Amino acid sequence: MQALAETGTGVLFGVPGGGPNLDVVGAAAAAGLAFVLARGETAAVIMAATCADLTGTAGAAVVTRGPGLASAVNGIAHAALDGLPVVVIADTVAAADAARISHQRLDQAALGRSVAKAVATIGGNRAAQAAGQLVRLALQPPPGPVLANMDDSAPAGDALAVSPAGAAAPGPGGAGLTPLAEAVQAARRPVVLLGAGAIASTAAIRGALAGSGIPALHTYRARGIVPDSADEAAGLVTGGTMEWPLLAAADLIVGLGVNEAEMIPAAWDYAAPTILVSEPGAVPAGGYFTGATALTAPLAAAAGLLAAGPPHDWPAAAGRAARADAVRRLGSIATAAPGRLAPLQVAASVRAHTPPETIATVDAGAHMLVAMPLWEVDEPRRLLVSSGLATMGYALPAAIAAALCAPQAPVVAFTGDGGLGMTLAEIETAVRLALRVIVVVFNDASLSLIKIKQKPAGQGGPEAVDYRPVSFAAAAAAMGAAGATVSTAGELAAELAAALRRDGPTVIDALVDPAGYPAVMDLTRGQAGRRPVPGLAHAKENAQ
């Protein structure tokens, strides 16, 4: 615990068992760390990962052996794919007792190595030294989760075991920035892709792109590097189709700090050369982006080369035009049956009625396809999502952690009824901690994103995707939170205003009409997205 405290960690999350786990909680208190009891281990690790995301320090979680660690694996995988430093501490069946005890005994080292950057069994007189090494390893580029299995009977010589997935493999390229410099000088329609690895270089990238007119697309986790209010902010890049008009018109695509885990599994079939720059020590991109050139260099230097490029041929404010067109096209789908809200109405109304500095956490599901493009941000880390793993059950635990680790900002959690059903008990955690978290649930009693994918139509039947209606407002009230059911934009606005004034959590149960989701899916993932943007036609003709 001292090693964590010395690097700035302030909170330990978890669901302890007896014995050694309670010793860990006690040691945390002695080291000055607060302890937050979660309702589930996956939620606890997501909370720890979110604090790491927001603070840049290592997150920390404690779980019990066997079922505790097994339950935490999903949270560890989330941290691994999004590159977040988390130290997970688990007790074990002691090596000295393994010959006679099989109860709750798993090969925890093997289980950890499947998802963690490193695994160590810690005990005896090496415990403090090994703990410090683990914390440093979690933070060391590329950051990621590590697992400490606690066992006082462990051999004194036990060493850290780094999994292959945890180490940065050498990438192609290595020729410095010369290929990028040459490509930028020859380009007339460059587009920049910004990934989460570029957040640390936000100031340099903003300085390079501000006023340049070069369109910049952001991955989910990178949103806010270039402010959405800037002319260059062009919206999202996910590997889908909403970004197609810009990328099809480009003659050079430059990725800065892009993590391939954020991209959906679709073909990268753009004609323009693609150059991807990763910071030294980061996991380099390259495999997903067919034919790309991967370079390792400081991103600030790469951004400087973009700023020094020749005049381009993009129309004025091409990035803003592309983003505005995508938002307009999404807005055209905002229809709903009487007594129901369109999902786009919900996302747009929440953004319109909350302060600019509000942090939003977004769960996986069909609602994510409308919330992510419509939530405007002017700073990084104000729109949080499980991008690499895209796990359901993320938004509420992440919102709880955001309220604890970034208490200066209001927090909104966007979730579907499926994701909230997985983490519903964590509402009590928010109540117990008196956190001002606003949970907005898109309630249509269905796994709507999966329903869209039922092919042939109805494959598996409604029993594969539909739930009985649930009143999440009533469930929230039963746990001590404020709860309200809304079915109109006026009701939603009123409940948001009340929630922002209230101490403690609020659950707003928004009754939504899922009828527009297939059209949203087609726009963001299908052929409907492959339509020229007004004002970019000239650039597209030149590209051809």
Name the phi and psi angles at 205, rounded to 5: -70, -40
Number of Cβ within 10 Å of residue 521's Cβ equals 18
* Contact of 18 with 25, CB cutoff 8 Å: no
Number of Cβ within 10 Å of residue 416's Cβ equals 27
Give pLDDT, residue 540: 46
Tokens (6 digits) for 536: 């970019």
Partners of 413 in the β-ladder: 361, 439
Give just the sign of the alpha carbon dihedral 222, 227, 232, 234: positive
pTM of the model: 0.93
DSSP 431: H
Give pLDDT, residue 167: 44
Give pLDDT, residue 162: 53
d(CA 160, CA 404) in angstroms, rounded, equals 31
Tokens (6 digits) for 253: 């695509």
DSSP 116: -
- 447-456 contacts: CB < 8 A, separation 24 or more? 447/365, 447/416, 447/418, 448/365, 448/366, 448/367, 448/416, 448/514, 448/517, 449/364, 449/365, 449/366, 449/369, 449/517, 449/521, 451/514, 452/366, 452/517, 452/518, 452/521
Our measurement of the distance from residue 540's CA atom to the centroid of its chain's CA atoms, rounded to an integer in Å, reads: 32
Q: What is the pLDDT of residues 71-116, one digit of tens each?
A: 999 999 999 999 999 999 999 988 778 778 888 888 999 999 999 9
Q: Classify residue 369 by burial, with Cβ atoms within 10 Å: 0-12, 13-18, 19+.
A: buried
Helix (H) or strand (E) holding 518: helix 517-525
Among 403, 396, 387, CA closest to 419: 396
In this structure, the strands spanning 161-162 and 118-122 are antiparallel
At the fourth CATH level, the homologous superfamily of domain 2-166 is Thiamin diphosphate (ThDP)-binding fold, Pyr/PP domains (3.40.50.970)
Question: Would you kindly state where each structural domain of the chain is located, as residue ranges?
Answer: 2-166, 178-323, 332-525
- The residues, any chain, with a CB within 8 Å of residue 436's CB and separated by 6 or more, are 403, 410, 411, 499, 500, 502, 503, 504, 505
d(CA 167, CA 83) in angstroms, rounded, equals 11
At the fourth CATH level, the homologous superfamily of domain 332-525 is Thiamin diphosphate (ThDP)-binding fold, Pyr/PP domains (3.40.50.970)
Residue type, 502: R
- For the chain, list residues with pLDDT below 70: 124-125, 155-175, 286, 528-529, 534-535, 537-544
Our measurement of the distance from residue 83's CA atom to the centroid of its chain's CA atoms, rounded to an integer in Å, reads: 10
DSSP 446: B
Give pLDDT, residue 454: 82
Our measurement of the distance from residue 511's CA atom to the centroid of its chain's CA atoms, rounded to an integer in Å, reads: 25
Residue type, 380: P
Q: Which residue has the tokens 């789908």?
A: 333
DSSP 123: -
Give pLDDT, residue 93: 85
CA diameter of the chain: 75
Q: What is the pLDDT of residues 433-465, one digit of tens each?
A: 999 999 999 999 998 988 888 877 778 888 888
How is domain 178-323 classified at the CATH fold level?
Rossmann fold (3.40.50)
d(CA 187, CA 195) in angstroms, rounded, equals 21
Size of the chain, expressed as the number of residues it contains: 544
Tokens (6 digits) for 455: 């092919």
How many H helices and E strands in the chain? 21, 19
Number of Cβ within 10 Å of residue 468's Cβ equals 5
Angle at 367 between CA 232 and CA 242, to 5 degrees: 35
Partners of 258 in the β-ladder: none
DSSP 429-445: HHHHTT--EEEEEEE-S
* Contact of 243 with 217, CB cutoff 8 Å: yes
Give pLDDT, residue 175: 54
